Chain A
Amino acid sequence: MKLAYFPGCKINFYLKDYDTSFQSLMEKLGVDLIQLPFNCCGYPARSTNFEVSVFSAIRNFALARKYDLDIITPCKCCFGQLKYAAYQWHENKKLKQKMECLLADENIFWDGKTKITHLLSFLYNDIGVLELKKKIDHKLPEKKIVTQYGCHALRPFTITGFDNPHAPRIFEELINITGFKTVEWSKSTECCGNPIYETNKSLSLKILNSKLTAALEAGADHICTACTHCQIQYNELSFQKECQKHKITPVLFTQILGAALGIKKEKLI
């Protein structure tokens, strides 16, 4: 199976281990990841300029279309934005016309058929939990873990269609097969605070702190993420004094699953 790998902007500099672990996981599962010169998904521009945000995403689709590939991304903000732009393309005729003109200027086109998947939805829908369970040969110790779903994949449900936005299950099912035990907590679907980290740091950290308190109450050892931005936000823990009292560490889902599938440690970091 061949898929176009959409890494997203932040992964390259801020979260290299997610990049490597994601690629080795896909290699293990027999997926060919094709690296294309994608540009930004448009998520950062969503709150500044609607047209720019949609066009950025559409330009990526056109590029993937050129090679006849579907897109997979490990980032939930990218996933949400790409889905959102595709939705706007289909809904908004005038916008579509303008985007088509802009694409034609660069001699590319998009027919609206590129499929966008996130890592989790790909594993759940295209590989299957049972199929994945058969492949696991290194059962991990029974540690308690809480999940961070990531807002932009989950909501708005009508656009992303990721999972039930109020009581999602995908992530828990995927983690439980590795040997780790997921525990229920109150803030699994809430925001990590990363979107306003640059502009309003104190509020962003307050939100992060509240999530940690909730995770501590649930008795978790780890917080599991499957999104670049969420993981970057949780990585802040080690640098913030107010957060250091918590002993919870964030882990990447790709690293957990990779370890359970027997991928060597060097290929996961």
Chain B
Amino acid sequence: MFQISLYTALGLSIAGLLFRIYRFQKKGSSGTLKLKLSLNLKPAFFNTIFQSKLFYASKTRWAVHFLVFSGFIYLVFFHALDEWIAFNLFQSYQPTLDPFQFLRDFAGFLVLIGCSGFLLRRILNTWINPDNTTNYKGLFPIILILLVMGSGFMLETIKIISEPVFLEMVEDYSDIDEDTDLDHLKIYWETHYQVRFKKDILITEEALEHGRRLNTDYCLDCHSKIKSAFISKALATQLDKPANFLNYYRADNWLYPIHYLLSFLMLVSLPFSRFFHILLIPFASAQQKMTVRHFQEKAVSIHPATFSACTNCGLCSAVCSVYPNFLITGNKQILPHFKIESARKMMAVAHLNPKKLNQLQLGNDDCTLCHHCTDICPSGIDLQGIWQTLPQTLHKMGYPDNYTFVKDTALQERENKEWEKEQADRAYDLTQNLTGRVYSFENCVQCTVCTNVCPVVAYGGNDNDMTPQQIMNLLRLGKKQTAAGTRMVWNCLTCYMCQEHCPSEIKVADIIIELRNISNQTTDSLKIMGAADKADK
């Protein structure tokens, strides 16, 4: 049973791993050119063993995570794999011998505390911020680890109090035949090792002393005092009453498969759940980080596996430079930890909801590439690289940035009275509303001073259509949307040369910037409509 499930789990896990690797390879990298594969082993090592980046990001979260990490690693190597590792490393290794007995309980205790910390943070998060949707993907590993730990402790406890286990051990490891000897050993174990026996045996000093000698002869080599297994001992004390019942039904025989099956479930789910971060974070941390030079030379490549290394911890969004954009526009796709999730889905499945992709494009457009998220990311993901290559990928999929979108859309399409109405409804009184108030541009005498000082007019050539003074004229003709769609408005450097030189003191640059705002809104609406049409199809 054990062997079969172990090999099944191992097989499934490896098959899953290969499947994931195959998928990653098939998806290819995001970005234009491939970099030479160069792994940075030093940051990968420190980030894997000590979680150094998490330490810099948040001390509390590091402490909690490290509890789980260290406890878990100990349990894997010295408890789960003890046959291969611990027995070979230490001559005198026995799971029931100190210090291993104590360390096992201690490690389990650390993991329990850590996982409770994880859970507590999640509960507090949803409590403080009700909008924060619970992430079940992140909840699964925590619950599973807690179940494995819980079943482990219960198993140990029940083995401690179990009479049948005691009798089996006596049979296997001693040559006690006489009933009185056995009774004396029972007495000693009942008082010192908390085994609960069905029949009460009269305890005498003499019997106890004899039991102690028998214990020294047969048991002491492999059994340390029970108090070092402090959690199981405490639990055993609690289970005093139902002990006989549990012993009668051999609860240990039930719990053992539960314990190892849960552990195998962990192994199977490794490539498909949040557990995968154990393997992906070392990989992501080892990936070469993009430098300015890479971007200038357009030699950028992001491995798709790094997308999946995200554990959705949200530390990136807390330091995001454009967080205020999110506060006003409410577009979640501005925040890095939502963006990477969408980007990951986008890479994994081709047909993602067009509305969401559109939001992703608009959100990613707001990114100022400040590198804060990459600096803090505990998984060591090169987020900045992703944000910089994302627009290209989105463009290929039919979600260009606003500049390209306006360039490729005919001006006539924007001449739609509905826009005017819709935009009038929005809170325009908050802006200066220069384009809506005639006095802000009516004084233009078409003297061409603005045109003469404009660098875009001077060097734009065929790339440019109107001049600033013509924009003013379009406004006077009431063609706001046409003006908003011109190349002049979108090529404007916002250098304010025109405004500073205008003899009529017209705020030319401010008007052009406001036109670009309007144009952006129109474009966003056009895009959302287009995305909705795509979604309908």
Question: Which residues of chain A have a CB within 8 Å of any CB of chain B?
Answer: 9-10, 12-14, 37, 39-40, 42, 44-52, 55-56, 59, 88, 92, 94-95, 98, 102, 105, 151-152, 154-157, 165-166, 189-191, 193, 195-196, 199-200, 202-203, 206-207, 210, 236, 239
Contacts and interface: CB of A to CB of B under 8 A. Distances in A.
B321 interface: yes
B368 A203 contact: no
B183 interface: no
A157 B500 contact: yes
A50 B431 contact: yes
A39 B513 contact: no
B327, B499, B507: which has the most chain A beta carbons within 10 Å? B327
B328 A46 contact: no
Interface string B435-464: 000000000000000000001101111011
Chain B: number of interface residues, binned into ranges:
35 or more
B366 A48 contact: yes
Contacts of A189: 497
A207 B496 contact: no
Interface stretch (B3-11, B62-70, B278-286, B487-495): B487-495
Contact of A207 (B365, B370, B455): B455
Contact of A239 (B297, B374, B455): B297
A16 to B, nearest CB: 9
A49 B324 contact: no
A13 B496 contact: no
Contacts of B430: 50-51, 92, 94-95, 98
A156 B500 contact: yes
B455 A199 contact: no
B371 interface: yes
Nearest to B510: A156
Given A9-B321, A49-B517, A165-B500, A102 B327 contact: yes
Nearest to A166: B500
Contacts of A157: 500
B404 to A, nearest CB: 8
A189 B297 CA distance: 29
A191 B495 contact: yes
A200 B460 CA distance: 10
Nearest to B295: A14
A191 B457 CA distance: 13
A40 B463 CA distance: 30
Interface in B367-391: 368-372, 374-375, 384
Nearest to A240: B296
Contacts of A166: 500
B502 to A, nearest CB: 10
B329 interface: yes
B524 to A, nearest CB: 9
Nearest to A159: B496
B118 interface: no
Contacts of B297: 239
Interface of B: 292, 296-297, 319-325, 327-329, 365-366, 368-372, 374-375, 384, 401-404, 429-432, 455-456, 458-461, 463-464, 490-497, 499-500, 507, 509-510, 513-514, 516-517, 520
Contact of A46 (B432, B507, B513): B513
Given A9-B370, A40-B321, A155-B495, A14 B403 contact: no
A55 B458 CA distance: 34
B493 A151 contact: yes
Contact of B370 (A12, A47, A48, A191): A12
Contacts of B365: 48
A157 B507 CA distance: 12
B366 A44 contact: yes
Contact of A190 (B497, B509, B516): B497
B328 A102 contact: yes
Interface of A is mostly: helix
Contact of B459 (A13, A48, A165, A210): A210
Contacts of B325: 40, 45, 49, 52, 56
A206 B401 CA distance: 22
A155 B323 contact: no
B459 A203 contact: yes
Contact of A151 (B369, B370, B494): B494
B516 A47 contact: yes
Nearest to A194: B493
Contacts of B499: 155-156
B370 A10 contact: yes
Contact of A40 (B324, B432, B460): B324
A48 B520 contact: yes
A195 B324 contact: no
Contact of B369 (A9, A193, A195, A207): A9
Nearest to A206: B459
Contact of A13 (B323, B371, B432, B494): B371
B517 A50 contact: yes
B292, B370, B403: which has the most chain A beta carbons within 10 Å? B370
A40 B384 contact: no
B368, B374, B463: which has the most chain A beta carbons within 10 Å? B368
Given A190-B497, A199-B403, A14 B292 contact: yes
Given A165-B500, A191-B495, A196-B491, A40 B328 contact: no
Given A154-B496, A156-B510, A189-B497, 9 more contacts: A37-B319, A40-B322, A46-B494, A50-B514, A55-B327, A92-B432, A94-B430, A157-B500, A199-B401
Nearest to A150: B495
A155 B513 CA distance: 14
A40 B366 CA distance: 10
Contacts of A239: 296-297
A200 B371 contact: no
A155 B368 contact: no
A195 B455 CA distance: 12
Contact of B384 (A13, A156, A195): A13
A35 B403 CA distance: 35
A156 B505 CA distance: 11
